[in-house]
Structure 1
């Protein structure tokens, strides 16, 4: 399940010619025809949403009260839904497909959320780029897991916790 997400993220990065960090996630959204819209959400727990309506470009709504790194992860997560999942229909004035990113989705308890999180991690922190940047770090930084994680998080413009999970999932730290 997460392998499919990793492969699709790698394909998007290759198609976009991405070869260095940080990944310009909004550029990737534009390449996929999606519009990124930032605003404050009434429910502060909601990080973002993806709205697809026939005949209109998909819209990725992002909670602008969240940190810049969280907003980047949210955009990448919603791009994962865009390329991997059809969405759930919500009836407003007309049928619209919506994916929401909130506390529940962050815990990744459902298959689509796990896959979207895997896609986002693979998109923002591609394994080959993480390995290359890790190799460029000085030996003292590389040998200190906290310093290493913080420095890589800075390079990739993600949170230290996101980078920590990525390093664990890539088998680079225990």
Structure 2
């Protein structure tokens, strides 16, 4: 007698290929997904990630884990939209860069981990910054005369502080 049962799938532990932030930006531009501000949830879906919002302690930004055979990005439901966007981009980075052999990542808010020496966290933050604020696009906006941090931040859907870090990293001076 044959027994029919639901097929179970083993989770894919990590993507087959890793890529840098600029490489993903180039792929997204080719797929016509790079509009400002970036639809970061759409990018997550494009990569096969499910995004969920869940209540978390304030010092937690989000997570990346396998649930029912699928990678899930969780974001703190209580955080500001811009914070959620950066968290999703950060978790996308963990998925693409660090998930090989891993099953989960738990991430504290950026302000709570600024002294974190973890190479993976620094790489994920750099990747997220490039994804949300591509260097080429930021430079073009500044060259076109947009020099207000708050205006730039609004165009890219990030916080003014995130934009400040980004323009400084790109070699611009920020006057207080």
Q: Same fold (TM over 0.5)?
A: yes
> Between Structure 1 and Structure 2, which shows a larger proportion of helix residues?
1
Q: How does 1:81-120 map to 2 (within 5 A)?
A: 81-86=94-99, 89=102, 97-103=103-109, 106-107=113-114, 108-120=116-128
Runs of 4+ in structure 1 deviating by more than 6 angstroms, as ranges, are none
Q: TM-score, normalization: structure 1?
A: 0.79
Q: How does 1:1-174 map to 2 (within 5 A)?
A: 5-41=20-56, 43-52=57-66, 56-86=69-99, 89=102, 97-103=103-109, 106-107=113-114, 108-137=116-145, 142=147, 148-173=148-173
Given the superposition, is the C-alpha separation of residues 68 and 85 from structure 1 closer, same or farther in structure 2, using an over 3 Å criterion? same
- State the alpha-carbon separation in 2 of the partners of residues 57 and 159 from structure 1: 30
Q: TM-score, normalization: structure 2?
A: 0.78
How far the C-alpha of 1:56 sits from its partner, in A, is 2.2
Q: List gaps (5 residues or longer) in structure 2.
A: 1-18
Give RMSD over aligned pairs: 2.2
Paired residue secondary structure (2:60)? coil
How far the C-alpha of 1:86 sits from its partner, in A, is 1.9
Q: List gaps (5 residues or longer) in structure 1.
A: 90-96, 143-147
78-87 or 8-17, which deviates more: 8-17
Given the superposition, is the C-alpha separation of residues 78 and 133 from structure 1 closer, same or farther in structure 2, using an over 3 Å criterion? same
What count of residue pairs does the alignment treat as equivalent?
154
